[in-house]
């Protein structure tokens, strides 16, 4: 049986080795002790440099590897940048990004600091991602990375981000699943994924209807989120009671400077249990907001929400309106709803009045008149209610409040 060459092989060998060494070692010791009576100098101990922060160069190199990995779908390379602590989470959202049409990724670092009493470097940054064909410009989300030394380099031990940014960074949605077509990016979760085929079909039908209506060029490809939980909306700041009154929302997303560069649509979970007709109508409403885009910043809220509601029902053989709007019409409507009414406890009343105000204009002044209202406002930037009311009166002979009265009359006649 072979023996370890570093280990002597038996007692005879060991005794012989000691016998040979002793005569040599003893004189050396005697000479050494006779040379001086002072103790020998102790070797200098190395100073512990303490925690070391990642340099700007280290951070840039690490982030550049992550950018290339995401852009080219290189999971193995991305995994090499990830530490143990948050590994599963980071690899999970990389997997979602890998299924999205990512065009480019950038990191804009705003701060690098060594965290107190630790070996962790904290990096604050904006991560911008542009989805090819869907984002005209990169969309930003704030991140804080915790870096640790590993294997002679640096790795991301943890990636922290605000959950309220799920619209900007939908791949961070819990348990995110992806479905992509030429015109629609749909993000779901494990519980809503079973509705993927249905939602894609309805989204494409709604998108086609919106394209047929809108008389100007717009970026007609959409990103839609359909979670099974209200958590993303609660993280956006919506209260549970508000969420119950919503069907969906079109949310603006920003670039790294905080300027809006697009919109994404979120379908409230309760709508997933509705009929195809109801869900298709909801999507048409939200897609109208996407189409209107920046134009609706020049409008009172009754116009932008009325436009979306008018667009969602236009051309359909039947439609529904809130009972509260019908009841208000029976009593007589005197004023157009204020902006707060669309976010209050009875938004259906406000939506109904705004919608039928535009229907009345179309009935009286011809097809497409609501789009003329929008264009008039876009050219003159009339977000001020008084100025807008005067413009309406000059062009179509009714002030805002008079238009609300006409809306009430039309509601009453329609639902008599």
pLDDT > 80? residue 121: yes
Which pLDDT score is estimated for 381?
A: 63
Domains of the chain, each with CATH number or no CATH: 56-161 (3.10.450.50), 163-296 (3.30.2010.30), 299-416 (1.10.390)
Average pLDDT, the chain: 86
- Flag the least confident range among 136-145, 274-283, 288-297: 288-297
- Flag the least confident range among 88-97, 192-201, 238-247, 358-367: 238-247
* Averaged pLDDT for residues 273-278: 95
What is the C-alpha to C-alpha distance for residues 39 and 32, in angstroms, rounded to an integer?
A: 11
pLDDT digits (tens, 9 = 90+) for 223-264: 999 999 999 889 888 888 888 888 999 999 999 999 999 999
The first and second tokens of residue 54, run together, are 């990642």
Confidence grade of residue 380 (pLDDT, cut at 50, 70, 90): low
- Angle separating helix axes 385-396 and 347-365, nearest 10 degrees: 30
**DSSP one-letter string for 139-179:** EEEEEEEEEEEETTEEEEEEEEE-GGGTTTSGGGSTT-EEE
Q: Nearest 5°: phi and psi at 405? A: -65, -40
DSSP, collapsed to helix, strand or coil, labels residue 11 as: helix
* Averaged pLDDT for residues 176-199: 97
């Amino acid at each position: 049986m072979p023996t370890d060459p570093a280990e002597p092989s038996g007692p005879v060998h060991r005794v012989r080795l000691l016998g040979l060494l002793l005569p040599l070692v003893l004189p050396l010791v005697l000479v050494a002790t006779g040379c001086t009576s002072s103790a020998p100098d102790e070797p200098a101990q190395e100073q512990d440099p303490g925690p070391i922060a990642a340099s700007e160069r280290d951070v840039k190199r690490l982030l550049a590897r992550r950018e290339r990995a995401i852009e080219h779908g290189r999971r193995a390379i991305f995994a090499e940048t990830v530490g143990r602590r948050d590994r599963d989470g980071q690899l999970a959202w990389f997997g979602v990004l890998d299924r999205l049409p990512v065009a480019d990724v950038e990191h804009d670092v705003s701060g690098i600091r060594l965290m107190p009493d630790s070996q962790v470097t904290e990096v604050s940054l904006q991560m911008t991602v542009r989805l090819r064909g869907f984002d005209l410009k990169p969309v930003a989300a704030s991140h804080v990375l915790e870096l640790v030394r590993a294997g002679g380099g640096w790795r991301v031990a943890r990636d922290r981000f605000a959950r309220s940014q799920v619209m900007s960074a939908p791949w961070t949605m819990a348990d995110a699943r992806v479905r992509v077509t030429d015109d629609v990016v749909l993000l779901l979760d494990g519980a809503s994924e079973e509705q993927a085929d249905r939602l894609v079909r309805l989204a494409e039908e709604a998108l086609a209807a919106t394209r047929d209506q809108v008389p100007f060029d717009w970026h007609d490809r959409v990103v839609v989120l359909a979670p099974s939980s209200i958590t993303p909306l609660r993280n956006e700041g919506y209260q549970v009671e508000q969420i119950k009154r919503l069907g969906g929302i079109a949310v603006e997303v920003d670039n790294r400077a905080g300027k809006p560069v697009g919109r994404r649509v979120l379908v409230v979970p309760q709508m997933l249990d509705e009929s195809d007709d109801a869900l298709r109508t909801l999507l048409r409403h939200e897609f109208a907001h996407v189409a209107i885009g920046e134009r609706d910043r020049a409008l009172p809220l009754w116009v932008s929400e009325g436009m979306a509601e008018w667009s969602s029902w236009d051309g359909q053989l039947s439609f529904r309106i809130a009972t509260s709007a019908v009841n208000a019409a029976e009593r007589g409507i005197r004023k157009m709803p204020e902006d707060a009414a669309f976010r209050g406890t009875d938004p259906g009343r406000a939506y109904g009045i705004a919608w039928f105000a535009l229907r009345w204009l179309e009935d009286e002044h011809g097809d497409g008149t609501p789009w003329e209202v929008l264009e008039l406002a876009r050219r003159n930037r009339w977000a001020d209610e008084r100025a807008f009311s005067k413009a309406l009166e000059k062009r179509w002979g009714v002030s805002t409040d008079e238009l609300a009265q006409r809306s009430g009359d039309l509601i009453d006649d329609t639902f008599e």
